[in-house]
Amino acid sequence: SLKSGLFHYSKRIHACVYLWLQEPFEDGFANGEELTPAEEAAAKEASESKGVVKFGWIKGVLVRCMLNIWGVMLFIRMTWIVGQAGIAYSCIIVVMATVVTTITGCSTSAIATNGFVRGGGAYYLISRSLGPEFGGSIGLIFAFANAVAVAMYVVGFAETVVELLIVRGNSGALMLDEINDVRIIGTITVILLLGVSVAGMEWEAKAQIFLLFILVTAIFNYFIGTFIPVESKEKFGFFSYDAGILADNFGPDFRGETFFSVFSIFFPAATGILAGANISGDLADPQMAIPKGTLLAILITGLVYIGVAISAGACIVRDATGMESNVTLSGLNCTDAACKFGYDFTSCCGCVSECLVLQVMSVVSGFGPLITAGIFSATLSSALASLVSAPKVFQALCKDNIYPGIAVFGKGYGKNNEPLRGYFLTFGIALAFILIAELNIIAPIISNFFLASYALINFSVFHASLANSPGWRPSFKYYNMWVSLAGAILCCVVMFIINWWAALLTNVIVLSLYIYVSYKKPGEPDWTVRHSIKCGVGCSDGVVSSRPQCLVMTGAPNSRPALLHLVHAFTKNNEPVCVDHSSRRPNFKELNSDMLRYQRWLLNNSSKAFYTPVVAEDLRQGTQYLLQAAGLGRLRPNTLVLGFKNDWRIGDIKDVETYINLMHDAFDFQYGVVILRLREGLDISHIQGQGTVLYTEPLHQPVSFKQYVDVVVSVDMSKDSDGDSSKPSSKATSVQNSPAVQKGQGSAFTESLCVCVSEKRSPTLPLNVADQRLLDASQQFQQKQGKGTIDVWWLFDDGGLTLLIPYLIANKKKWKDCKIRVFIGGKINRIDHDRRAMATLLSKFRIDFSDITVLGDINTKPKSEGLTEFAQMIEPYKLKEDDMEQEAAEKLKSEEPWRITDNELELYRAKSNRQIRLNELLKEHSSTANLIVMSMPLARKGAVSSALYMAWLDTISKDLPPILLVRGNHQSVLTFYS
């Protein structure tokens, strides 16, 4: 049973924002007399982040992504691409690459804003969305690709240095030879980069800012140079902007290349969009930083690439020798764009400055050495970012214990949990490839590794959107599931365009690692896509993707359709379980016949339900059987749904004891509890023959599930009249009206996870006004709801069920026009503060709401009429020990524990007054709501008598629109605050 005191539902802000679950009516109202949830979250966040260095979206994401996307390709290969493909095709190539990265950026943003993001970058995003098989395989190769990318960038830097030494020193400046000098310079460079990384993320971020400054300066230097024509640069093909040059370079002139081969050369320049996401654990607010920084970086770098392509094509001729002795002509017979300037470059062997590929942007720029500095900045910054990214991703992979023998690298050091061992491992891998100094073969494989990661990120978004799980509610709205699917397909296509055999090799490696993880089934962390049903608040780092699995006590499947229709709204037609209970000695043949009849009815009403009779001594014992045995595996229910017991004041009070004990039993079995109350009532079994019918026509569109059950049902259905609803109805007793089984009488109750639809027919006999209202009310949740509200009275934290149910209902088509209004308790002197804090909190939970009302007068004294009515309600159930001897009073109390003692009444007088006051507030604020969802008051088992507790429930919910009293269990309720 639930114990008294305080429960810590969560140690993670993202899961439950560190709210306290209080035993209601012991220490006051949550959200009323205690700290607000937002204040608790802020306090917890402040204590956890003390001394930890966190980065914002500019320094943490934007800078890193721009440095990685620009890279060395901007200075070394962009003009060559324009010479081969022309301005038009070059822009198309840049746009194609940008489309792929933009779609992936949107998908990354959607995942990053769908709950709290911890360290691990692409690995964390994929593993928490698609599970450990995909996440583990991609995480390993992604970390390895980043490690080898360090070597690629460092070798690019070293080769540039060696070429400068050769040009300026005429080979005399070399230490040994070209290949060994690359190794020596590369080794020294990677050691220095390792020192910067080990010094800490703060130093690394400062180095990135410095390198970005140099890189941006070099880019501006190039664009400024395009407007400054210099005669000495004409021999290199630069004549400043000219319409003739632009027209000549507009079309392609492929020389030994094709469009796709040029695209494959350029596309690796676009990889780098995950540079910011890879350090997600070091970001102050990943949900804001990753979308804003990544997408802005893609936009800026894409515009710069297009700007360079257009400017280069408009001011540099396609062919130039670079030799002044044979370019000046007196009588020109050539026809290219350089002719009118007095130059003939027809003898040139290739495309734009082919002989000076590394130096053409230096020639154009205003100050050539700045371009060289830009090349150094691009290579070193990319190498530094990869050197930091690889250990971060690998550390997250090691902590999840996916592969054996690598956990040692998951250990973190210092206040920022730096993966020092991972740094040295990355350094070792990079150094090995630097010493090889030949990366032409491994380069396309690395690009394919990145593309495989992008493809799976896009597919993750498509998969989550298609499943339409309640845990998938990203605050980033600018994505589309079909666009993400197209992005995943594009990434796969680009993989084969770049290098078909590398793409095949990448797929083989990913598939092998996937099979290994699937076969070994290592100790998984909180893989929410698998184990979310048994997770309580705070048990998962990711996002829970399951809906409540409900055990609904309805009697016969068609006896309380309103209850079933409402449950269907938040269970998405998951497989329900319908159970008939009887206390009499059963006729098993009749019992089986009823089971087959109701199963056929469920099937014909498109409800994937299971109807299973259970025989027990009484209702409580039968319910306990169901709580233990209902469902199978992941389909086990975790929420008990009941109808409100309207006749508790006129029936046997022992039935009330049983009814209350059902709820306590549910909590003992780690279930949540939901109670639905309608003013008109729920049970329509007495008008079954007039208003609704059970019908069992043959199935015309069978599916596999129906085909299976149809074979079973057909065995005995020919002996029964399926249309006869009076037979089961005569045995059914309302759980709402008679929760206890009377001696010698039959009783039936049914539980369902989902929907059982009754069809309304023209009544054969006229219904009285009350029955007609009851019948109309039973169908109200089947009708489209107009513009209205779903009012959520969140008075206690129950693990999220009070917010989860209205969120799920509001997403249904019938309820899409209804807005969610949230009511919370607060203090009269800080209503505005509490409203802002709760708005911030709900925004973090990605919950759309139309209004927040803070109830500052929740603890004021109720009106005298309410007090009088409550006193009259409980008067028959008082023990009145003052009118009898103490011994007699104690004996009566032990025999009738449901009675209310004077001491209990005085002890809980303030709590009773609060329930009366709540009803007044509900009538004042929510009298016109389509549905009210309210946190249900909860008392410890045995602490409050059944009669008093039932009076509280009755008082709180009477004379209101449809109201759901909800109370989650910390181990049964799904995590909603991911």
CA 261 to chain centre: 38
What's the pLDDT tens digit per position in 181-214?
Answer: 888 998 999 999 888 888 877 777 788 888 889 9
Task: Give the span between the Cα atoms of 731 and 537, in whole angstroms.
Answer: 41
The predicted model gives 387-399 an average pLDDT of 85
Q: pLDDT-derived band of residue 107, with 50, 70 and 90 as boundaries?
A: very high
CA angle, 820 then 824 then 830, to 5° = 125
pLDDT of residue 955: 93
CA atoms 765, 771, 775, 776: torsion sign: positive
Give the predicted TM-score (pTM) of the model.
Answer: 0.71
The predicted model gives 82-89 an average pLDDT of 90
pLDDT of residue 358: 40
Choice among 61-70, 117-126, 343-352, 460-469 with the minimum mean pLDDT: 343-352
Task: Give the span between the Cα atoms of 104 and 271, in whole angstroms.
Answer: 11
Among candidate residues 550, 618, 963, the one with its CA nearest the CA of residue 791 = 963
Given a cut of 70, whether residue 24 has pLDDT beyond it is: no
pLDDT of residue 172: 59
Q: Where are the alpha helices (DSSP H) in 273-412?
A: 286-315, 360-364, 368-399
What's the pLDDT tens digit per position in 735-769?
Answer: 333 333 333 333 333 333 333 333 344 445 677 88
The predicted model gives 324-353 an average pLDDT of 58
Instruction: Give the strand pairing for 789-793 and 931-935.
Output: parallel
Q: pLDDT-derived band of residue 220, with 50, 70 and 90 as boundaries?
A: very high
**Angle between helix 500-520 and helix 481-498 axes, rounded to 10 deg:** 120
Q: pLDDT-derived band of residue 627, with 50, 70 and 90 as boundaries?
A: confident
pLDDT of residue 605: 65
- Residue in this structure with the two tokens 């469920």, named with its chain if needed: 602
Q: pLDDT-derived band of residue 674, with 50, 70 and 90 as boundaries?
A: very high
What's the pLDDT tens digit per position in 155-183?
Answer: 888 888 887 777 665 555 677 777 888 88
Give the residue with greater pLDDT, 859 vs 952.
Answer: 952
Give the residue with greater pLDDT, 586 vs 814.
Answer: 814
Choice among 192-206, 208-222, 267-281, 678-692 with the minimum mean pLDDT: 678-692
Contact 571, 751 (CB under 8 A): no
List for the chain the helix, strand, coil content (%; round to 5): 55, 5, 35
Q: Which domains does the chain have, with CATH numbers?
A: 47-318+356-520 (1.20.1740.10), 546-628+635-677 (3.40.50.620), 786-967 (no CATH)
| Mean of all residue pLDDT scores within the chain | 75
Choice among 240-249, 310-319, 321-330 with the minimum mean pLDDT: 321-330
Tell me the percentage of the chain whose pLDDT exceeds 70.
Answer: 75
Residue 901 carries which side chain, given as an amino acid letter? T
Bridge partners for 257 per DSSP: none
- Report the residue count for the chain: 978
Give the residue with greater pLDDT, 638 vs 928.
Answer: 928
pLDDT of residue 301: 93
Contacts of 753 (CB under 8 A, 6+ apart): 549, 550, 551, 552, 567, 571, 574, 575, 576, 577, 609, 637
What's the pLDDT tens digit per position in 49-74?
Answer: 455 668 888 888 998 899 888 877 78
Contact 849, 842 (CB under 8 A): yes
CA angle, 437 then 443 then 445, to 5° = 135
Given a cut of 80, whether residue 771 has pLDDT beyond it is: yes
Q: pLDDT-derived band of residue 637, with 50, 70 and 90 as boundaries?
A: confident
Which of 215-219, 530-534, 733-737 shows the highest mean pLDDT? Answer: 215-219
